[in-house]
Structure 1
């Protein structure tokens, strides 16, 4: 049997058919567009055309969805920050309406990234506990413990972006103070750099440019990455102390900076680690890139095959 995997992001939707052996036989990606519900329907229709009789149900064992949050996995609703028209949107019910009779499972996008990395990124053979972190317009996280995604009662477990790493820091939109997301997300890094003199007239002031400047040695840009790395290390070590983590996998747009982020992050983790078991942490960038979330969403359905 085959799983239909759906990845709901703030700027794009992706879907794929994934077999139990991990083979991805069809993949479609679309921009969110002005009508996200119509985009979702088109995506499911396009991918479902590659299954059996073309109805999108023959040969499918179920649908797994990884979505940007916050979400309510019990109610099957999502409220992605970057999709204002979706507030408590009944995502699970909508997909069930598009594919009647199929079971639908919902989890967070970062949780699916973590599960995808564990299953198809080569971590499952050595990692008993994995933390996946998505560093992008926000900071999300997910946990895989003993090969099983830990979702929590509401589906929001692993929300590492809202661990407080600076009690005297700025107010987060979530209502707390000093959250990791206020320091380590792409927009937060750019905002801090601009406030400290970064940027030249006529040049882009985005996370990609900040990363390029840090890589070529611009001091303020490097400090922005160091600041983010220090904050990430606090959140990672806090999580590792609670769950005895083996591997930490970093994904999302900011992870594209590569060693510009990872080198200071590894150094900060080593410097801040106290207890001996925390020193074994392996921190690396995603191996599956943009497909990690799709593999994880498929694994929600194909866990029996694994």
Structure 2
């Protein structure tokens, strides 16, 4: 029987949970989610984890080997304390997510002899992409999400790079000009910019529809986001000598050519030839990447 891990993916809008096989396959029947949001509290998260873990583990096949729990979370994270301090969920800062997940899984399984491992969500995405995704086989890769926020993770020679505290890869909090990349290029930031130019929509989906219909302001907001993401990635590739960058996240799908726009902006901004040569590609895993990467923390 296959080895299975329980994966949790906690972000600014939802908590996802699922069982994932040692081949990186998400068991659809086990997958479930709960909403989060800026006002979510530690008590809210504790309840959401208990509910999602219970649902996912209730689908654990009889006789399957349980490998443990992998957690990818919005960060920063504290690996020593097993806690999180998410920028986009301020009321939940300090939440001891490792203890909560371990407690919830143990209550269902009736035992606690399994590992529980934590990384930030961008690091999990990068691990998944380098394992079975768009960066598989590369020597140095960065994987990013452009969505409600902007985050990323780094893998070099198959090893995720966490840095001194485990938080390496927070691309969205790097500074371009006098603001962070996330404040310029995320979905909500792009919507706000468009509204300031007189556009009347309210969501990233509205931007996508408007741009497709020929709205010049909606299109300009998308191009502005891609331009600044490309500049951020040019800086990252210059620093890290990246072979490939994989892009995912809801806002990255706001236009069919978003990834191409980012790639062109990287080439224009990069000074050195090796940075200009970095390939920018769309994620091969879509929305399942962070779950697969979280599971890989205990499967690999």
Q: TM-score, normalised by structure 1?
A: 0.87
Stretches of structure 2 that go unaligned for 5 or more consecutive residues are 107-111
Q: CA deviation at 1:53?
A: 5.5
Say if 1:258 and 1:285, in contact at 8 Å, map to a contact too: no
**Taking structure 1 as reference, are residues 23 and 207 closer, same or farther at Cα in structure 2, changes over 3 Å only?**
closer
Instruction: Report the CA distance between 1:160 and its aligned residue.
Output: 0.5
Which stretches of structure 1, 4 residues or more, deviate above 6 A after TM superposition? Answer: none
- For the Cα contact (< 8 Å) 2:4–2:20, is it kept in 1? yes
Partner of 2:7: 5
Verify the 8 A CA contact 1:214 1:260 in the aligned structure 2: no
- SS of residue matched to 2:188: helix
RMSD of aligned residue pairs (Cα, Å): 2.0
* Counterparts of residues 109-258 of structure 1 (less than 5 Å): 109-125=121-137, 127-166=138-177, 177-199=178-200, 204-258=201-255
Higher helix share: 2
Distance 1:265 1:280 in 2: 13
After TM superposition, give the deviation of residue 259 of structure 1 in Å. Answer: 2.7
Q: Alpha-carbon deviation of 1:123?
A: 2.4
| SS state at 2:48 partner | helix
Q: Does 1:66 align with 2:72?
A: yes
Count residues with an aligned counterpart.
285
Match of 2:83 among 73, 77, 92: 77
Question: How far apart, CA to CA, are the structure 1 residues paired with 2:255 and 2:196?
Answer: 24
Deviation at 1:84, TM superposition (A): 4.7
1:16 maps to which of 1, 15, 18: 18
Deviation, 1:216, is 2.9
- Aligned-pair distance for 1:112? 0.9
Counterpart pick for 2:54 among 36, 42, 45: 45
- Tell me, yes or no, if the aligned pair for 2:83 and 2:94 is still in contact at 8 Å: yes
CA 1:282/1:209 → structure 2, altered by over 3 Å: closer, same or farther? Answer: same
Q: How many Å separate the matches in 2 of 1:143 and 1:191?
A: 30
Give me the whole-angstrom Cα distance separating, in 2, the residues matched to 1:24 and 1:188. Answer: 32
What is the CA distance between 1:50 and its match in structure 2? 2.5
Q: C-alpha separation between the residues in 1 aligned to 2:164 and 2:56?
A: 31
